[in-house]
Chains A and B, each alone.
Chain A
Amino acid sequence: MTKTAYRGISLAAVAVGFLFRFTQLPLRPMHHDEANQAVKFGALLEEGRYVYDKTDHHGPSLYYLTLAAAHARGQTTLAELDETTLRLVPAVFGLGLVILCLFLGTSLHPGAAALAALLAAFSPVMTYFSRFYIHESLFAFFALALLVAVWRYSERLTSRTIFAVGLSAGLLFATKETSVIVLAAVAAAIVLAHLLQKKTVWTPGVRLKTNWEHVALGLLTFAAVAVVLFSSLGKNLNGPADAILAFKTYVAKGTSPAAHAHPWSYYFGLLFFSKSGGLVWTEGVVFLLALVGIGTAVARRSEWEARQRLSFYIFIYTALTTLAFFILPYKTPWNALAFYTGWILLAAIGGAFLVRAPKRKGLKALSLAVLAAGLVQLGLQNYRANVRYPADPRNPYVYAQTSPDFLKLAKRVDSLAAVHPAKKGLIIKVIAGPYDQWPLPWSLRGYKNVGYWATVADAGPVGDAALVIASAENAARLQASFGDRYQVEHFGLREGVLLTLFIPATLWNRFILSR
């Protein structure tokens, strides 16, 4: 591959990655989980308050990194925040992952690295969760950073590379509790790659020697990053201990999930083939190319020996993480990102092999044409998943997603507040269980007097409220007592879940007259 071609493909990957990740970020309504994270971040933004929750919501990295985005956009309160600011953070790390693939170029092959960047940039699922204000895009980025850094350290035993290992491991740990799977997989992969090299005729390349200074530097860096972030920059000294105690919760949640148990084949269907309502979804091209990549990683071909060990290392990492996430009963679409990055790298290795291996120009051209067609298919599906159907239940990445109809509820509340004497100070009572409350706290963040109760009995008298928003079972009770004094409107919250808005007749009439 010529330098010009490498440069061109790399720039194209970054440009495509940028375009897919940064345009129309507010398009999809805020998901329940995004709104949870956003409101938690609001406390950090407004009051400097963050306490690691060992039972939910994952690590602190997302919140502290969002501070930079909020400050960059001049937003200092929850009310000022918007979807763009929040989703910029995962988008930056999603694009970062594309760029990080290129860092494998010197060790792997420039063509494979550039193709990995292209596949990551075009991948619909990688893009979808790079536009989603949760931890996953950061997690996938730090996992890849660790994978690259460990390999680099095995190539060059320098203090700089071991620092990179410690830093990426620390940030990975401070992002999600499932980091233990990635940490174990990377460790196993590098050891296996080293051991198998010793036992075969492969030429030396992986050099693992115990350098205690480096071990200390790596561990100290890891610990420093983790302690600083989990302790809320020194304000919560229980944080680091809670980070360890959290594993008890997450092991229980991962192995005996109450609501998110899926069969072992769930991710296979999600990524490689699904069909719903006349729409077919597949990233099968990645799977097929990855099979070729695995072949080159495990087969002995003299031409590939120099880079084969890295391919083998990536293969072991991918196999172990894939196995772990397939075995865990707890499955959600976003959990696929960490192991799917490995599949993308293997696909790139396979794709590069298909272009390099044939001696005849015609076959090379055919391989290039197949790769180009695969990228076009991924690009079209990317548009469909992220622009055309970002909240449609037929989209396989859509999971407990807020319905676009919910935006009409938020808009209606705004219209009613505009004609109410108290404006945004009007009293809104939300009577819904916790699963049916979100993302209302995000949508109503600009309102001063909003209260949340789980049941009608908890809420007490609601006559003082200018607006009442209730879940279906609470709405049925309210409707019986309200009679005709309230105008009633229904809005979709999620697939099959409704919210009811009760508007006092006087406010409704004022609203109608104002139109």
Chain B
Amino acid sequence: MKKNLLMLASLFLFGAAAIAPLAASAPSQDPAKEELKLQLPKPMFIGTPRNIKTPNLEVITGKPRGPFYVPKGTTLLSAKKPVLSSDMQPVIGEVSFLTDGEKSGEDGYFVELGPGSQWVQVDLGASAALQAILVWHYHGQARVYRDVAVQVSDDKDFLKGVTTVFNNDHDNTLGVGLGRDKEYIETNEGRLVDPKGAKGRYVRLWSGGNTSNDMNHYVEVEVYGTPIK
């Protein structure tokens, strides 16, 4: 027994000591220059932060959205309309949740699509002049969805006649062009996109994960517009 213990102890010490040293290289310096020493405040050492487990519904960006004006006769076109997705086998929920009218931030009301870049597409049934698009990704906690883009087209494959009405994919991860719109923190107000009357039957919404995980979520999408006569 003692021999066994000694053997194991030796094995343990050997394992602990057998760590390969790494070579360290010194940075090169221009002899004609000297380093400018800046005096910047150091970080504050502090204990363990609070472990947040409860939903955070606080509107971090502050002010509530003001009124948004649309042409008379504008109606909700997306209610109960069919939805397609790049991930037709969602991890949680159904893609039909997008147009079912339920906007709660609780479990059971959102659809979770796979990781990375994914899209959902609402078929309005007929081409329309779009006046407002509202999207709720997930507002159970403060998070930002990345690479959010909203496109409108009469082509269900989005190969021609595509109008991009919102795009905050500022480094073109999606490949639909550099986005100039800002990222935003999800709230229960949803994000209102102004399509400025862009015409189309199909609305495609992109996202590329979020600040909490790599998955993509939608609680609801509402598309408002006026029919084209």
Kindly specify which of A193-201, A235-243, A485-493 makes contact with the partner chain. Answer: A485-493
Complexed CA–CA distance, A492 and B178 (Å): 23
Residues of A in contact, count (CB < 8 Å): 77
Within 8 A of A (CB), among B20-37: 20-24, 35
Contact with A along B4-45 (1 / 0, CB 8 A): 110011011001110111111000000000010010111111
Return B143 CB to nearest CB of chain A, in Å.
7
Task: Please determine whether B52 and A496 come into contact, CB atoms closer than 8 angstroms.
Answer: yes
Complexed CA–CA distance, A56 and B47 (Å): 7
Task: Please determine whether A451 and B40 come into contact, CB atoms closer than 8 angstroms.
Answer: yes
Return A81 CB to nearest CB of chain B, in Å.
10
Q: List the A side residues contacting B23 at CB < 8 Å.
A: 74
Q: Does A92 contact B (CB under 8 A)?
A: yes
Task: Please determine whether A36 and B11 come into contact, CB atoms closer than 8 angstroms.
Answer: no
Within 8 A of A (CB), among B174-192: 178, 182-183, 185
Kindly specify which of B55-63, B64-72, B151-159, B198-206 makes contact with the partner chain. Answer: B55-63
Q: List the A side residues contacting B143 at CB < 8 Å.
A: 492, 496, 498
Q: List the A side residues contacting B210 at CB < 8 Å.
A: 405, 492
Q: Does B228 contact A (CB under 8 A)?
A: no
Please judge, given known A-B contacts A102-B8, A472-B185, A476-B60, whether A453 and B24 are in contact too, CB under 8 Å: no
Q: Does A75 contact B (CB under 8 A)?
A: yes
Return B151 CB to nearest CB of chain A, in Å.
21
Task: Please determine whether B20 and A450 come into contact, CB atoms closer than 8 angstroms.
Answer: no
Q: List the A side residues contacting B8 at CB < 8 Å.
A: 10-11, 14, 99, 102
Task: Please determine whether B40 and A96 come into contact, CB atoms closer than 8 angstroms.
Answer: no
Q: Does A452 contact B (CB under 8 A)?
A: yes
Task: Please determine whether B212 and A492 come into contact, CB atoms closer than 8 angstroms.
Answer: yes
Return B10 CB to nearest CB of chain A, in Å.
10
Task: Please determine whether B48 and A259 come into contact, CB atoms closer than 8 angstroms.
Answer: yes
Task: Please determine whether B46 and A476 come into contact, CB atoms closer than 8 angstroms.
Answer: no
Task: Identify B171's interface contact among A18, A453, A512, CB under 8 A.
Answer: A512
Q: List the A side residues contacting B45 at CB < 8 Å.
A: 36, 39-40, 53, 56-57, 434
Q: Which of B35, B45, B53 has the most CB atoms of chain A within a 10 A radius of its CB? A: B45
Q: List the A side residues contacting B24 at CB < 8 Å.
A: 74-76, 80
Q: Does A497 contact B (CB under 8 A)?
A: yes
Return A398 CB to nearest CB of chain B, in Å.
9
Residues of B in contact, count (CB < 8 Å): 51
| Residue of B with least CB distance to A6 | B4
Q: Does B144 contact A (CB under 8 A)?
A: yes
Q: Does A135 contact B (CB under 8 A)?
A: no
Please judge, given known A-B contacts A36-B46, A57-B45, A105-B5, whether A73 and B12 are in contact too, CB under 8 Å: no
Q: List the B side residues contacting A103 at CB < 8 Å.
A: 5
Complexed CA–CA distance, A105 and B6 (Å): 13
Q: List the B side residues contacting A53 at CB < 8 Å.
A: 45
Task: Please determine whether B12 and A14 come into contact, CB atoms closer than 8 angstroms.
Answer: yes
Task: Please determine whether A437 and B43 come into contact, CB atoms closer than 8 angstroms.
Answer: yes
Within 8 A of B (CB), among A422-476: 425, 427, 430, 434-438, 440-441, 448-454, 472-473, 476
Q: List the B side residues contacting A95 at CB < 8 Å.
A: 12, 15
> How many A-B pairs fall under 8 Å by CB?
169
Prevailing SS type, chain A contact patch: mixed
Task: Identify B43's interface contact among A11, A332, A448, A452, CB under 8 A.
Answer: A452
Task: Identify A74's interface contact among B2, B21, B212, CB under 8 A.
Answer: B21
Q: List the A side residues contacting B19 at CB < 8 Å.
A: 69, 72-73, 88
Task: Please determine whether A56 and B46 come into contact, CB atoms closer than 8 angstroms.
Answer: yes
Q: Does B142 contact A (CB under 8 A)?
A: yes
Task: Please determine whether B52 and A495 come into contact, CB atoms closer than 8 angstroms.
Answer: yes
| Residue of B with least CB distance to A438 | B43
Q: List the B side residues contacting A508 at CB < 8 Å.
A: 170
Complexed CA–CA distance, A453 and B24 (Å): 32
Q: Does A260 contact B (CB under 8 A)?
A: yes
Q: Does A110 contact B (CB under 8 A)?
A: yes
Q: List the A side residues contacting B160 at CB < 8 Å.
A: none
Please judge, given known A-B contacts A92-B16, A490-B211, A496-B141, whether A400 and B170 are in contact too, CB under 8 Å: no
Please judge, given known A-B contacts A74-B24, A450-B40, whether A393 and B53 are in contact too, CB under 8 Å: yes
Complexed CA–CA distance, A88 and B22 (Å): 15
Return A181 CB to nearest CB of chain B, in Å.
19
Return B229 CB to nearest CB of chain A, in Å.
39
Complexed CA–CA distance, A10 and B7 (Å): 11
Complexed CA–CA distance, A73 and B170 (Å): 40
Please judge, given known A-B contacts A6-B4, A488-B183, whether A400 and B12 are in contact too, CB under 8 Å: no
Within 8 A of B (CB), among A391-439: 392-393, 399-400, 403-405, 425, 427, 430, 434-438
- 23 cross-chain CB contacts under 8 A: A14-B8, A53-B45, A56-B45, A56-B47, A57-B45, A72-B19, A73-B20, A76-B24, A88-B16, A92-B12, A105-B5, A332-B48, A399-B48, A404-B213, A405-B210, A450-B40, A472-B142, A492-B210, A492-B211, A496-B52, A496-B56, A498-B143, A508-B170
Interface residues of B (CB under 8 A from A): 1-2, 4-5, 8-9, 11-12, 15-17, 19-24, 35, 38, 40-53, 56, 60-62, 141-144, 170-171, 178, 182-183, 185, 210-213
Q: What 4 pairs between A and B have smallest CB-CB spacing?
A: A451-B40, A492-B211, A74-B21, A490-B144
